[in-house]
Structure formats: structure tokens, C-alpha cells
Amino acid sequence: MENSLLDPYLKGFEELESILNLSYDGITVADGNGVFRNVSLSWTELSGIHSSEIIGKSSSFLEKNGFCDISVTSEVLKAKTPVILTQQIAGKKKVLVTGIPIFDQDTNNIEKIINITKDITEMNTLTSASSLLQNGSENKLHKRTRLDRNNNSQALLKIFDMANHVADLPVTVLLLGETGVGKGFMAKLMHNNSKRKNQPFVLINSGAIPENLLESELFGYEKGAFTGASKEGKKGLFEIADNGTIFLDEIGDLPLSLQVKLLHVLDEKRARRIGGSSSYEVKARVIAATNKNLKDLVGKGQFREDLFYRLNIVPIKIPPLRERKEDIFFLTQSFLDHFNIKYETNKKLTEEAMRLLYDYDYPGNIRELENIIERLVIMTIGDIIDKTAILEVIEPPNKVIDREIIPLKEAVEQLERSLLLNAFNKYKTTRKVAEALQIDQSTVVKKTKKLNI
């Protein structure tokens, strides 16, 4: 078996007894017929099932008699390849199991199957909740999102701890991070973990509303305030939010003219409708977010320095997915579970497929990972998502560089495709992509059609 992330578990069968006794993860060992021969102490503690109840029993027997909803050992015997999937033990405990076949070198038959089990019953990951939110779920999040602290990155744990710490404090929070890292989810999390959770959560995308309409959307207007105004007037989003939360997304795109008014609202806790003679109290808590460097914008005169410091009271930076690779495995499984339920499928990833997902850099971050998994679940024929399926939806890292010799034209097309995909993940429009790549917009349009992007 080639080197993998699971090598620490497979340093030779002479060390198996030590692994079983010392490993934090639950480990079971079955023979080539799927009959269990050994289990670790940690597995019995995790499952609540005594070793005597499964040793000597076959995987099919355990599945039929309700010990688990699906047997990873049976799936490995069918696929003859490593299998990763979630499993329910005794109808209650949810675990993530990686089944690894060990082949006899002479006969090439499966000699043993090692199952490595992690407890995910208490895990409510960023992506699983984010997936529900992005799909319009109205389900309330838990009072405090609980993570498996042994299996998620320290960066993610610190972010959740800080978000929970400030959730009930009446301070402005500034969420920083690239597109797709989960800033919107984090804002919703803080709202739902606060005393304001039963009040409105109002999202305002500062870059998506035309500048001439933004002020009236934010603060409202009185009847007859301008041509085309409603006869009844209109409440602004700050009024609609009431005692809830205002989430100002893409705050770096807010026009300078409105930055002054927003600063006044944050300082005075009052706002005025367009055409109004009196102000109203702003009671909502403000959370802002941006994927831009506001300090740089201040230096360029595109963002007010006083507003920056007013927003930057509690900055929370969410690192990109490529800087917290530890999270990819569990986020992937979380999305896979979600889309298996949504599309009524039972897709599983091979170890090679998982390794390719782990090695990928995700310029679109969690949002891109979610999109990749959904596409794989929809497009893959059969239940096994293998390396070939992964390569159809992502560009492997250093693909051009790693190949020995390929035609120059093909290499150039690969590089152009990769650059365009990264640019579109970040900038979204052909105009902004053209500016970033310093080429004409018409060239971007032609190349996207040619490269089938």
C-alpha cells in the first residue's frame, strides 16, 4: 500500500498490539472473511459494546442484528479498496470510520481489514451548519456549537471560542477572511448564540445593492421623499432589525458617502430616514465582514480611517481552508452526509480521492469544497467516488509542473484555466477578473468559452 495519511496506523503488524492498546481512536481488526478478531480498549469505550459481543462475529451478522447501520468491513470487502463513511453504533452513537484492506502479497486477496473509528456524535462543524444555512434552513443552531476538539484545527477552535465569547456582548465585530471561508455563517452563529436569537437577523450585502438605492435600503425613507418613492414610505433595514442583528457583508465596498452616515449611526445609535425630520433609535447589534484589507483601503483613501477603527473593536480573522488542512477531512464528510441525504444517495470516497481533496488548495474555500462535493454526489455513477471522479472536477496541485513532458499548448491551457478559475472564485465578474489578470474583458469571455469554464 502506498504512503498515505493513515501510515501511522500501519507500521507493521508486529506493532498492532501496541496500537490497539495505546491509540486514542477506536480500532477493530477483521480477517479476510469479515470476521472480527480484535478490538482496542478505546473502541469498546467509544461504542459501549464489550469486545466479547463482536469478536468471532461477522460484519454481516453485526449489521443484521443492529450493532451498526452499515458495516464498513462489508463495504471494504465489496469495493476491495479503502472506504470512508459515517456509521451509527447501536442506533445512537455517530462515528466516522476508515476501513483499510490489507492484501496478501502472494494471492492478492484481502487478508485483514483495519477499521479506524472517530467519534463525531458531538460534532457540529462549520460546514454542516453552513450548508444548512446556505440551503435556506430555518433550523435553530445549538446554543453553543460543539466541536470535536481532538480532530479540528486549533485555528477553528479559537475562532469558535472567540465568537461564543463575544456573542452576547453589545460590541461591533469585524469578520475578516477570503471569499467562502464562512463569515456569514459566523455572523449567524453569534446571533443565534446571543440573547437576540429570537429577534431578526438582517443581512446587507454592501456590494450587491446599487449605490443610489443603498441609503434608502439601509435607513428607509418617508413618503414622497423622492420620485418613485412609495406613498407609505419605507422602513430601512436598521429599523427592521429592531433588537436583532445587522450583518453588513462586504463592508469594504460601502461608498464613501455612506461611510460617514454609518459612522454616525454606530456612534450615536440613531438613524434618520431619507426625507425625515426626526431620527429613530438603532437598537440592533452590528457585525461587519470583508474579504478586503481595510487598512490598505484606508491608505488609498477608499475607506474612512475613523470608521475602520470603529468597526475594528473585535476583529475575528477566519483563515483560508488551505491554512487549516486538518478540517478538510471532517468538512468533506459532513458535506457528503448532507448531500447523500438531499439526493437520496450513498456515495463514499476512496482513500486516493480523499487524498486529492486534502491536497487541493481551495481558492474558493469552504464554499468551493461544498460545491465540489455536491457535484461529485450528482455526477458520479455508482456509489464509489474515486480518484478519476475527483480529477474531473478539480485541478490537482502543480499538475503542469509535475508532469514529465506535455505539449506546450496543453500546459498553457491548463495554467490559463487554473488562473481563470481562481480569479472567478475571488472576483465573480468578467470585468473584475479582467482587471485582476490585466487583460481585456473580451479576452476573458473568449477564454472562458474556449476552456469551458
What CATH number does residue 431 fall under? Answer: 1.10.10
C-alpha torsion angle, residues 7, 13, 19, 25 (rounded to 10): 60
Per-residue pLDDT, averaged over 213-238, amounts to 81
Residues 113 and 221 in one domain: no
Q: What is the pLDDT of residues 281-339, one digit of tens each?
A: 999 999 999 999 999 999 999 999 999 999 998 999 999 998 888 788 878 988 898 89
Q: For the chain, what's the residue count? A: 453
Indicate if the pLDDT at residue 44 is higher than 80: yes
**Interacting residues of 398 by C-beta distance below 8 A, sequence separation 6+:** none
Pick the residue with more confidence: 390 or 418? 390
Instruction: Name the strand (E) or helix (H) holding 37.
Output: strand 36-39
Contact 182, 366 (CB under 8 A): yes
pLDDT of residue 407: 72
Query: SS3 letters for 17-66?
Result: HHHHHHCCCEEEEEECCCEEEEECHHHHHHHCCCHHHCCCCEHHHHHHCC
Per-residue pLDDT for 255 more than 80? yes
Q: Please, are residues 279 and 271 in contact by the beta-carbon 8 Å criterion?
A: yes
pLDDT at 165: 86
pLDDT of 222 over the 50 cut: yes
My answer on whether 24 and 103 are in the same domain is yes
Output the domain CATH number for residue 50. 3.30.450.20
Percent of the chain with pLDDT over 90: 30
Residue 362 lies in a domain: no
**Residue 130: inside a domain:** no
Judgement on whether residues 240 and 160 belong to the same structural domain of the protein: yes
Answer whether residue 393 is part of any domain. Answer: no
For residues 173 and 89, state if they share a domain. Answer: no
Which residues are CB-neighbours of 325 under 8 A, at least 6 positions away?
153, 358
Note the pTM of the prediction, 2 decimals. 0.57
Nearest Cα neighbor of 396 from 372, 350, 351, 361 is: 361
CATH number of the domain at 187, please.
3.40.50.300
Averaged pLDDT for residues 256-274:
91
Same domain for 292 and 415: no
Helix ranges restricted to H, 195-236:
211-219
Mean of pLDDT over the chain: 80
Q: Is residue 234 part of a domain?
A: yes
Q: Let me know whether 113 and 176 are in one domain.
A: no
pLDDT at 435: 84
Q: Give the bridge partners for 358, in sequence order.
A: none
State whether residue 246 is helix, strand or coil.
Answer: strand
Candidates 180, 123, 140, 157; CA nearest to 334 is 123
Domain holding 435, by residue range, is 398-453
Residue 433 pLDDT > 70: yes
Check residue 212 and give its pLDDT.
78
Does the pLDDT value for residue 36 go beyond 90? yes
Q: Are residues 186 and 88 in the same domain?
A: no
Domain end point (choices 291, 317, 343): 317
Q: Is the pLDDT of residue 443 over 90?
A: no
Whole-angstrom Cα distance, residue 156 to residue 152? 7
Report pLDDT for 252: 93
pLDDT of residue 143: 32
Does residue 12 belong to any structural domain of this protein? yes
* Shared domain check, 230 and 301: yes
Average pLDDT over residues 378-401: 79
Q: Are 192 and 306 in contact (CB under 8 A)?
A: no
**Amino acid occupying residue 449:** K
The phi and psi torsions of 25 (rounded to 5 degrees) equal -75, 150
Q: Angle at the Cα of 285 (from 280 to 289), degrees rounded to 5?
A: 120
Q: Which of 101-105, 132-136, 347-351, 368-372 has the lowest mean pLDDT?
A: 132-136
Q: Count CB neighbours of 266 within 10 A.
A: 17
Q: In the structure grid, which three cell numbers stand for residue 386, read together?
A: 474515486
* pLDDT band for position 226 (cuts 50, 70, 90): confident
SS3 label, residue 137: coil
Torsion angle in degrees (nearest 10) through CA of 8, 13, 18, 23: 40
Cell numbers linked to 412: 498553457
Residue 133 confidence (pLDDT): 36
Buried b (16+ CB within 10 A) or exposed e, 7-24: eebbeeeeebeebbeebe
Of 70, 103, 119, the last residue of a domain is 119
Mean pLDDT in residue range 424-434 = 78
Task: Decide if 134 is inside a domain.
Answer: no
Residues 100 and 25 in one domain: yes
Burial 227-248 (b: 16+ CB within 10 A, else e): eebeeebbebbbbebeebbbbb
The number of distinct structural domains making up the chain is: 3
421 occurs within a structural domain: yes
Per-residue pLDDT tens for 288-298? 999 999 999 99
Average pLDDT value for residue range 186-198: 91
Q: What pLDDT, on a 0 to 100 scale, did the predictor assign at position 139? A: 36
In terms of domains, do 17 and 99 share one? yes
Range ranked top by mean pLDDT from 95-104, 281-290, 422-431: 281-290
Range with the lowest mean pLDDT among 72-86, 204-218, 220-234, 397-411? 397-411
